[in-house]
Amino acid sequence: MALLKICFLNLTFIEARLLKVYQFLKKNNSQIIRFLISGLIASSINYLVYNFLYLVSKNLFAASFCAYFVGVIVSFVFAKVWVFQNKSKNKFFQSFFIFCLIYILGGIEMSLVIFSVNKLVENHSIAWFFGAFIASLNNFLGSKYVSFKQ
């Protein structure tokens, strides 16, 4: 009987958490969609800059580093203007610095998740998707609640 009660309490707890996740997704649906669209645009620009710089310089590290930085700038502009519609003009550099820190943390998390999941499933593509999901979650929540304080 006690085991049944514990199972019921765990299911109730899980159900309550799933309800909170659903409510969060419903409330922030348009921001999440805009975040994903702007991420695709920023990633595309990152890729184009990367290819251009690599073709010109033949320096893989410099091309990837510069292109990533351009992608972060594009992401920041989209996040500030379109995704979170942050109209505050003061503390621009502070929010950009925090935004960069959030994206650096997301990149580290992504790398760690990719490494760990790949060890478990031995499939780098599946591992990448898990890593990208964790990094995107970090970047969205960090941007929303820390960089642009909503």
CA dist 98 and 46 (Å) reads: 20
- In contact, 103 and 140? CB cutoff 8 Å: no
How far from chain centre, in Å, is Cα 57? Answer: 29
**Is it the case that residue 7 has pLDDT exceeding 60?**
no
pLDDT of residue 132: 87
Helix crossing, 92-121 with 60-78: angle to 10°?
A: 120
pLDDT of residue 83: 92
CA dist 34 and 147 (Å) reads: 17
CA dist 135 and 78 (Å) reads: 17
**Is it the case that residue 139 has pLDDT exceeding 60?**
yes
Which distant-in-sequence residues (6+ apart) come within 8 Å of 114 by Cβ? 124, 127, 128, 130, 131
Q: What is the largest CA-CA distance in the chain?
A: 71
- In contact, 98 and 139? CB cutoff 8 Å: no
At 37, list the tokens: 């669209």
81-137 residue pLDDT tens:
999 887 766 578 888 999 999 999 998 898 899 889 989 998 888 988 898 889 999
Mean pLDDT of 136-141: 93
13-35 residue pLDDT tens:
677 787 888 888 798 889 999 99
Of 5 and 40, more confident: 40
pLDDT of residue 31: 93
- In contact, 53 and 67? CB cutoff 8 Å: yes
37-49 residue pLDDT tens:
999 999 899 889 9
pLDDT of residue 72: 92
